[in-house]
Amino acid sequence: MKTGLLLIFFLVSPAMAQLAVKARVVYPMTGDLAPLSDAVILCGPDGKIQQIGLAAGIPIPAGWPVVEAAVVVPGLIDARSTVGLSGVLNWERRDQEQLETSAPVQPELRAVDGYNGRDPLVAWLRELGVTTVHTGHAPGALVSGQTMVIKTNRASVVDANDLLAPVAGISVTLGSDGFAKNDKSAPGTRAKSVALLRAELIKAQEYLTKLQIADPSKHPDRDLHLEALASTLRREVPLIITADRHHDIAAALRLQKEFGFRLVLDSAAEAGLMLDEIKASQAAVIVHPTMARAVGERENLKFTTAADLLAAGIPFAFQSGHEDYVPKTRVVLFEAAMAAAHGLPPGQALAACTIRAAEILGLQQKIGSLEPGKDADLALYDGDPLETTTHCVGTIIDGRQVSRERR
């Protein structure tokens, strides 16, 4: 995929109401994922893409500022992160909000209540072409809390309009990473973990049943804990279950069959042993980060997991992930590059951190590809995005240039 292309980059004020982007190569990430050569993208004053196509067929309106780059792709989407909750200081009680260990099951914890959009790590991702993050409570407790989806230019969250998804899922951990730490009520074995989770889901079923009683006076008192779990039983949001061992993946699939919730498997280091079962469940997979250490639950992770999932017809996306040591934030494009080096076609690698990630998050109508009417989120590069020597030279979110740094 080497392009050997030169970069011409004209700085544009973020206050500009419209913007034209020209590139030698554009990856719209639509249809067969084929790129366009010598293309133009017109970003309108509403922050949406107005037109995209060959430069010969799209005249740039007079007076529009122009940005030119070698390669343009849709703004990158990190399909699972803790950025904004796990901060740059790595200092407990100061900026480590991603995991609450006082109880084993806390689905009511909202990601937005701990999110800091001004943390330097958020800006760092933005400058490297990441425009959207699915972030929130980390794996590490049986039920650690909720996740959300937000763009990396949102410094503060005042209301739901600042979010792409106020609740994107509820984070669950099956396996030893979710065993007891500080709380003696937490599970210490796999059987106990599944029993506790099953019991909580049954309580949520009963809560929903009581809410359906015709007489409002007989409805139960509001319960944020059960309300959150009930949203998964209504299939409004998925359970995002971190499971690396094959028997933990099997437990997640059994629970899905029993309760009917939407399932997204997170990490899934041993997914290669369960491809037929995962395919039959219609679950999606957010692939384990390749930079994760191959020890403990992930000792059998493979760099070819993404290629295996593609061959099996299982939807997947890439994540930067989370581990309890520094650095807590990585760049998802690295995962695409590593997968492309280990059997995944390059176009599919880019798709897994753009349109495929958007599809798994249910946001494909707004982000993930470059099409008229979608949000004008773009990442600009001075060469092949999957090459280690390439730099991100600009980031555009909602049609506004939010970074001009060469990273």
Residue-wise pLDDT tens digits, 372-385: 999 999 999 999 99
pTM, full prediction: 0.94
Check residue 159 and give its pLDDT: 87
pLDDT grade, residue 115 (50/70/90)? Answer: very high
User: 291 versus 175: which is more confidently predicted?
Assistant: 175
260's CB contacts (< 8 A; 6+ apart) are: 233, 235
pLDDT, mean of residues 312-337: 89
Average pLDDT over the chain reads 93
Residue 2 has pLDDT above 80, yes or no: no
Instruction: Please give the Cα distance from 179 to 403 (Å, whole number).
Output: 41
Check residue 185 and give its pLDDT: 77
Check residue 339 and give its pLDDT: 97
Instruction: Please give the Cα distance from 104 to 88 (Å, whole number).
Output: 26
For 1, counting Cβ atoms within 10 Å of its Cβ (0-12 exposed, 13-18 middle, 19+ buried), the class is: middle
pLDDT, mean of residues 252-256: 98
Residue 188 has pLDDT above 70, yes or no: yes
Bridge partners of residue 149, in order along the sequence: 134, 165
pLDDT grade, residue 326 (50/70/90)? Answer: low
Angle among Cα 277, 194, 172 to the nearest 5 degrees reads 80
Check residue 182 and give its pLDDT: 66
Query: pLDDT exceeding 70 applies to what percent of the chain?
Result: 95
Structure token pair of residue 305:
């997991």
Check residue 343 and give its pLDDT: 97
For 211, counting Cβ atoms within 10 Å of its Cβ (0-12 exposed, 13-18 middle, 19+ buried), the class is: middle
Q: Which tens digit of pLDDT belongs to each residue from 82-114? A: 999 999 888 877 889 999 989 999 999 999 999
Residue 14 has pLDDT above 50, yes or no: no
CA separation (Å) from 14 to 18, 43, 247? 10, 13, 50
Structure token pair of residue 278:
């995962």
Percent helix, strand, coil in the chain, to 5, is: 30, 25, 50
User: Quick one: 19-74+369-403 is in which CATH superfamily?
Assistant: Urease, subunit C, domain 1 (2.30.40.10)
Check residue 4 and give its pLDDT: 43
Residue 3 has pLDDT above 50, yes or no: no
Check residue 139 and give its pLDDT: 94
Bridge partners of residue 196, in order along the sequence: none
pLDDT grade, residue 7 (50/70/90)? Answer: very low
Domain ranges of the chain: 19-74+369-403, 76-360
- When the candidates are 3.30.420.40, 3.20.20.140, 3.40.50.1110, 3.40.50.1220, the CATH number that belongs to 76-360 is 3.20.20.140
CB 133 within 8 A of CB 171: no
Check residue 322 and give its pLDDT: 81
